[in-house]
């Protein structure tokens, strides 16, 4: 049986370190998140966070297998949600255990930059995986949505919270109350998607963005992520105070000196914290 999670370590163009390309690999079930995928995703997060060589994580869904004879081809999917078959017969206690301290929260908590590369359906938990990443790059055939309402449910991997920050209160209400699908263009307009490319260009353009981010100082990237996240947790007054604090602390870091000096010397910075 093939692995449900494939991790490729792609060397960074700019010096040492790697971009971890993580592919959720259950294309016959549209890469839906079953227990095995969730467990492997959590393990991947522990590995990526503790492995100094990992400078950026890109999460994708596996493309469809060739159709079996006489059967129609399955559609492209990033992730078509939680594996609904695992919901059958479960009560609140069991579900609470699965949905607390879950794999999507582990992705959200990664200290490294994360990008989701979305080609096809990103529904329910798939939309939530995408929203738990820092940046979303989609193909023109990406489809986003939160159809849980049609199952008598609501998003359970933090989607009610994270989507509001991306699309705003009114659109989040519309998405979660209608369960409608939104194509890539609409998702771009809504602020879910950062950039859209043709399916052929999606991977190279996503990797270009990952390489760009990976070329920066890891220390500064970590601080940037913490500071930007503070905007979600704090009001503006507290957030600005927090930013002033971490901004000033960066002046004690070697990479700040290296970056500023490189600008003055018109050279490329050789980051200490790769």
- Catalytic residues, by residue number, are 128, 148
Establish if 21 lies at the interface with ligand COA (CB under 6 A): no
Site string for ligand COA, 135-164 (x = CB under 6 A): ------------xx--x-------------
Establish if 42 lies at the interface with ligand COA (CB under 6 A): no
Determine the straight-line distance between the first and last CA of the chain, rounded to whole angstroms.
36
CA–CA distance, 28 with 73 (Å, rounded to integer): 10
User: CB within 8 A of 169, min separation 6: which ones?
Assistant: none
Q: Of the two residues 78 and 108, which places its CB atom closer to ligand COA in the complex? A: 78
Establish if 29 lies at the interface with ligand COA (CB under 6 A): yes
Q: How far is the CB of 17 from ligand COA (least distance, A)?
A: 35
Establish if 103 lies at the interface with ligand COA (CB under 6 A): no
Binding piece for ligand COA, criterion CB under 6 A, among 53-61, 82-90, 170-178, 240-248: 82-90
Binding piece for ligand COA, criterion CB under 6 A, among 37-45, 119-127, 132-140, 191-199: 119-127
Q: Please list the residues that pair with 115 across neighbouring strands.
A: 58, 135
Selection from 83, 94, 81 nearest residue 36 by Cα? 83
CA–CA distance, 48 with 108 (Å, rounded to integer): 13
User: CB within 8 A of 162, min separation 6: which ones?
Assistant: 108, 128, 131, 132
User: Given the rule CB under 6 A, which residues bind ligand COA?
Assistant: 29-30, 32, 74-75, 80-85, 121, 123-125, 147-148, 151
């Amino acid at each position: 049986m093939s692995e449900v999670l494939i991790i490729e370590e792609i060397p960074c163009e700019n010096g040492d370190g790697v971009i971890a390309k993580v592919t959720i690999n259950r294309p016959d079930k549209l890469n839906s998140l079953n227990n095995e995928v969730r467990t492997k995703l959590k393990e991947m997060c522990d590995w990526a966070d503790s492995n100094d060589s990992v400078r950026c994580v890109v999460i994708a869904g596996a493309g469809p297998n060739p159709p079996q004879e006489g059967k129609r081809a399955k559609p492209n999917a990033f992730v078509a949600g939680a594996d609904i078959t695992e919901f059958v017969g479960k009560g609140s206690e069991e579900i609470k255990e699965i949905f607390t301290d879950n794999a999507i929260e582990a992705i959200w908590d990664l200290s490294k930059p994360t990008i989701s590369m979305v080609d096809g359906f990103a529904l329910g938990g798939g939309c939530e995986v995408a929203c738990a990443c820092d940046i979303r790059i989609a193909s023109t055939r990406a489809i986003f949505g939160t159809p849980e309402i049609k199952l008598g449910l609501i998003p359970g991997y933090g989607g009610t919270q994270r989507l509001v920050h991306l699309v705003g209160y009114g659109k989040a209400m519309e998405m979660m109350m209608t369960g409608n699908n939104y194509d890539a263009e609409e998702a771009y307009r809504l602020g879910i998607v950062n950039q859209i490319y043709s399916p052929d260009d999606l991977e190279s353009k996503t990797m270009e963005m990952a390489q760009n981010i990976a070329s920066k100082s890891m220390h500064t990237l970590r601080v940037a992520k913490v500071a930007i996240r503070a905007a979600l947790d704090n009001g503006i007054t507290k957030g600005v105070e927090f930013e002033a604090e971490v901004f000033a602390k960066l002046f004690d870091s070697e990479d700040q000196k290296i970056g500023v000096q490189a600008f003055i010397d018109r050279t490329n910075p050789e980051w200490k914290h790769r």
